[in-house]
């Protein structure tokens, strides 16, 4: 980064107080000529004089992703940290693909934990699973409306509800805005979950509770975030792409998206 | 064998503590294999029963004082220090002996019926001052009857073949009830001051503690649906004809006059010759849906229910309502507003009151659609459709194909069942 061509140094114009005139009160300001900068050539400034441009980089992380999960993880560099705070305040939903396995129950709800119990699961059908998912979605929808702190009796609340834009804009417990079953092949199943203010452990707990509701038990075998607000899997950089050029391109591509989203939500 | 299994489990858990060097942990193949073996050996529990079928349940909510909810402890608490509950704001499970196939709410009383062939087919609870629940013999005095019935009590019907006839449907009005059977016609009970029970009005008749249950059999074909309005009754037959009797001052009998009718008479007007597949009424307005998806209305129009065809506030002949909203599948009348469901699963409301499109829409003569996104429809769930719609006095209910119930309207004494006492201006999930 330091080897890249850098901008020309800015011209500084300093206003210095002029030597005081006869009449006491007003002191005028006079522009002095720009500060002279040591130059060794027409447009090149010696590095030895000014030093490396970047000695430290401020990098901030977006929403947390724990060690057993994978997926999109948003980082902000420099000015991006401030944008990260703004994005956090937008309270956009995150989308996860959660894989589950019927028949086992462990203490930390994932398949690497200590086994607590094994149960049968032959009675489970896709229809039963979908019914449970519908109940979960319904109760969470109600929680969504209640935590959004909008007065339900106003016309604006009605219009937002029609567009589906009601969501809590402050602190709230984890809420699932949408959940559906992508794949179902006993004993495994895969869900797509759209949620707000959640943690990955909460998602694993949801899988465990789905197992309990179906009179069996389930553990979570995979949690993968496929979307975090405006950032999707397509924008994400792979391990092989962690170099300056790709990072710069990625930042450049996302700039517009982030700007429009911030303007739309925060005004 | 069980002991060995448990031993293996315990053995897998308690390994001798390895020499720790800083944070390094020795995760050799030994521990993983032990764990897998232990998992294989663990017992498998079964929680689901063999024939785990879902039981059909009845839930009640609303105003409790009349006993219409069927839970005696709401009105007369078991413990002395508890006060009687005025409102049950959320759905409460009502235990019933049989599987209930039809239920109807009247003004302070409820009827439940089952399609069983047992002798007891209909239960009633709530207000019984006009014998709308039949004669409920009091246990204290065998000659008197109960005025308030606090729990679902059997209603004895004078059936010819009690172990073969099945009760298909029940309906309740302000002070009268109708019970539809599959082979013995319609039974009516309760107040008959306007002929709503289908029998001649007797001057100064006392309706309380009356044993009289009237049977109606004279229709052009078998009756397949009975509907009670406030003080009138509508009967729909298999051939698609509609009969009416009772109070007619608002034209709700649809017979071309504003007098009372005490014998069920066939309706004409715009529905003559039309095959009607559904009839609905609640207060003094009536709607009928034909097999081709047209809707007809008659009765009270003070709240713009029929204002799309006429300016008069009482319509005593069925009129076709020319709405261009698609083929209509189901219609329901409320006290002041009406609601229809189309074949595509869209819901339209019109009339007066809290119609469900926010606080700004208070009255309209032309049906307005409620956006399907309010019922959970989205790009994520495009299959959600509304399957049934119903109306109450000032509120509406819609049931989706996923089995979710949405209510909206005026929350009179907790009738919405959402747990909150405030009115809802757009559909809210119960």
* Contacting residues of A for B47, CB less than 8 Å apart: 119-120, 215-216
* Contacting residues of A for B380, CB less than 8 Å apart: 178, 180, 194
Coil/strand/helix, residue B322: coil
CB contact (8 A) between residue A158 and residue B425: yes
| A120 in contact with B, Cβ within 8 Å | yes
On the CB side of A205, CA atoms within 13 Å amount to 7
- What burial class does residue B233 get, using C-beta atoms within 10 Å of its C-beta: 0-12 exposed, 13-18 middle, 19+ buried? buried
Which one is predicted more confidently, A53 or A99? Answer: A99
Give me the sign of the Cα torsion angle B125, B130, B135, B136. positive
Question: Can you name the CATH fold of A59-266?
Answer: Pseudouridine synthase (3.30.2350)
pLDDT score, position B404: 86
Residue A36, C-beta contacts closer than 8 angstroms, at least 6 positions apart: none
Residue B220, C-beta contacts closer than 8 angstroms, at least 6 positions apart: B237, B239, B241, B266
| B404 in contact with A, Cβ within 8 Å | yes
Domain boundaries, chain B: 328-429
- pLDDT at residue A24 greater than cutoff 80: no
- pLDDT at residue A97 greater than cutoff 90: yes
| B42 in contact with A, Cβ within 8 Å | yes
CB contact (8 A) between residue A153 and residue B380: no
Q: What digits encode the pLDDT tens for the residues A54-86?
A: 788 888 888 888 888 888 888 888 888 888 888
Bridge-based pairing of strands A115-119 and B44-45 is: parallel
Residue A49 — very low, low, confident or very high, per pLDDT cuts 50/70/90? Answer: low
Q: What digits encode the pLDDT tens for the residues B82-110?
A: 888 899 998 999 988 889 999 999 999 99
Nearest CA in chain B to A138: B429
Q: Which residues of A are catalytic?
A: 66
Q: Are B267 and B244 in contact (CB under 8 A)?
A: yes
CB nearest B47 (choices: A104, A145, A216): A216
Average pLDDT over residues A223-235: 88
pLDDT score, position A38: 47
CB nearest A158 (choices: B47, B357, B422): B357
Chain centroid offset of residue A192 CA: 17
Residue A36 — very low, low, confident or very high, per pLDDT cuts 50/70/90? Answer: very low
Residues of chain B with pLDDT under 50: 11-12, 14, 20-22, 24-29
CB nearest B404 (choices: A123, A134, A153): A134
Average pLDDT over residues A109-125: 87
* Contacting residues of B for A164, CB less than 8 Å apart: 373, 378
A143-174 b/e with 16+ CB inside 10 Å = b? bbbebbebebeeeebbbbbbebebbbeeebeb
B411 vs A151, B172, B280, B428, CA distance in Å? 16, 21, 22, 12
| A215 in contact with B, Cβ within 8 Å | yes
- pLDDT at residue A46 greater than cutoff 70: no
Coil/strand/helix, residue B133: coil
Token reading at B100: 């209930």
Q: Cα(A12)–Cα(A258) distance, rounded to whole angstroms? A: 32
pLDDT score, position B29: 47
- pLDDT at residue A42 greater than cutoff 50: no
Q: Are B151 and B227 in contact (CB under 8 A)?
A: no
Token reading at A3: 């080897």
Chain A nearest-CA distance from B39, in A, is 7
Residue A30 — very low, low, confident or very high, per pLDDT cuts 50/70/90? Answer: very low
Chain centroid offset of residue B354 CA: 20
Residue A28 — very low, low, confident or very high, per pLDDT cuts 50/70/90? Answer: very low
Question: Average per-residue pLDDT in chain A?
Answer: 80
pLDDT above 70 covers a percentage of chain A that reads: 81
Count of pairs with CB atoms under 8 A, one residue in A, one in B: 83
Q: Cα(B12)–Cα(A262) distance, rounded to whole angstroms? A: 53
Chain B nearest-CA distance from A93, in A, is 14
pLDDT score, position B295: 93
Average pLDDT over residues A34-45: 47
- β-partners of residue B149 are B126
């Amino acid at each position: 980064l330091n080897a890249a061509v850098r901008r020309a140094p800015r011209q500084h114009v300093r206003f210095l107080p002029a030597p005081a005139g006869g009449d006491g009160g007003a002191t005028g300001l006079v522009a002095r000529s720009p500060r002279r900068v040591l130059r060794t050539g027409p447009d090149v400034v010696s590095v030895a004089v000014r030093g490396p441009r970047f000695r430290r980089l401020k990098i901030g992380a977006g929403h947390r992703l724990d060690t057993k999960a994978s997926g999109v993880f948003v980082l902000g560099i420099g000015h991006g940290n401030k944008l990260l705070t703004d994005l956090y305040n937008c309270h956009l939903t995150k989308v996860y693909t959660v894989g589950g396995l019927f028949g086992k129950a462990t203490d930390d709800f994932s398949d690497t934990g200590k086994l607590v119990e094994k149960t049968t699961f032959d009675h489970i059908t896709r229809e039963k699973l979908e019914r449970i998912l519908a109940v979960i979605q319904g109760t969470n929808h109600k929680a969504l409306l209640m935590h959004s702190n909008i007065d339900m009796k106003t016309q604006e609340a009605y219009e937002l509800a029609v567009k589906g834009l009601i969501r809590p804009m402050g602190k709230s417990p984890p809420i699932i805005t949408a959940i559906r079953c992508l794949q179902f092949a006993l004993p495994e199943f895969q869900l797509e979950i759209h949620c707000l203010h959640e943690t990955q452990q909460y998602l694993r707990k949801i899988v465990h509770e789905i197992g309990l509701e179906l009179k069996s038990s389930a553990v979570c075998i995979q949690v993968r975030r496929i979307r975090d607000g405006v950032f999707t899997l397509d924008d994400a950089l792979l391990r092989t792409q962690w170099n300056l050029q790709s990072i710069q391109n990625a930042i450049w591509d996302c700039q517009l998206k982030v700007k429009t989203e911030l303007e739309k939500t925060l005004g | 064998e069980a002991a060995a299994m448990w031993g293996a489990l315990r053995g897998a858990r308690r390994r001798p503590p390895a020499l720790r060097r800083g944070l390094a942990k020795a995760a050799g193949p030994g521990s993983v294999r032990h764990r897998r073996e232990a998992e294989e050996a663990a017992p498998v529990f079964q929680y689901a029963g063999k024939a785990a079928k879902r039981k059909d349940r009845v839930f009640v909510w609303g105003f409790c004082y009349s006993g219409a909810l069927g839970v005696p402890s709401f009105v007369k608490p078991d413990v002395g220090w508890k006060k009687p509950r005025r409102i049950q704001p959320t759905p409460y499970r009502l235990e019933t002996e049989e599987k209930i196939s039809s239920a109807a709410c009247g003004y302070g009383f409820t009827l439940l019926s089952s399609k069983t062939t047992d002798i007891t087919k209909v239960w009633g609870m709530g207000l019984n001052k006009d014998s709308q629940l039949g004669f409920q013999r009091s246990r204290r005095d065998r000659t008197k009857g109960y005025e308030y019935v606090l729990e679902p009590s059997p209603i004895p019907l004078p059936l010819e073949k009690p172990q073969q006839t099945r009760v298909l449907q029940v309906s309740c009005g302000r002070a009268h009830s109708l019970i539809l059977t599959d082979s013995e016609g319609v039974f009516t009970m309760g107040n008959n001051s306007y002929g709503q029970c289908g029998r001649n009005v007797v001057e100064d008749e006392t309706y309380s503690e009356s044993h009289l249950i009237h049977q109606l059999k004279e229709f052009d074909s078998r009756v397949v649906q009975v509907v009670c309005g406030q003080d009138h009754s509508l009967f729909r037959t298999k051939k698609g004809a509609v009969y009416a009797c009772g109070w007619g001052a608002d034209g709700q009998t649809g017979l071309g006059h504003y007098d009372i009718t005490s014998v069920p008479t066939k309706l004409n007007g715009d529905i003559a010759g039309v095959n009607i597949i559904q009839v609905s009424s609640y207060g003094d307005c009536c709607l009928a849906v034909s097999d081709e998806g047209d809707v007809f209305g008659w009765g009270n129009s003070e709240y713009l229910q029929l204002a799309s065809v006429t300016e008069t506030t009482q319509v005593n002949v069925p009129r076709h309502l020319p709405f261009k909203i698609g083929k209509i599948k189901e219609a329901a009348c409320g006290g002041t507003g009406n609601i229809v469901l189309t074949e595509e699963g869209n819901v339209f409301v019109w009339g007066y009151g809290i119609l469900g499109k926010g606080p700004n829409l208070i009255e309209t003569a032309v049906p307005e659609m409620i956006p399907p996104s309010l019922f959970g429809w989205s790009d994520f769930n495009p299959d959600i459709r509304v399957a049934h719609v119903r109306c109450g006095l000032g509120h509406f209910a819609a049931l989706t194909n996923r089995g979710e119930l949405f209510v909206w309207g005026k929350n009179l004494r907790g009738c919405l069942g959402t747990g909150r006492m405030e009115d809802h201006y757009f559909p809210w999930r119960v």
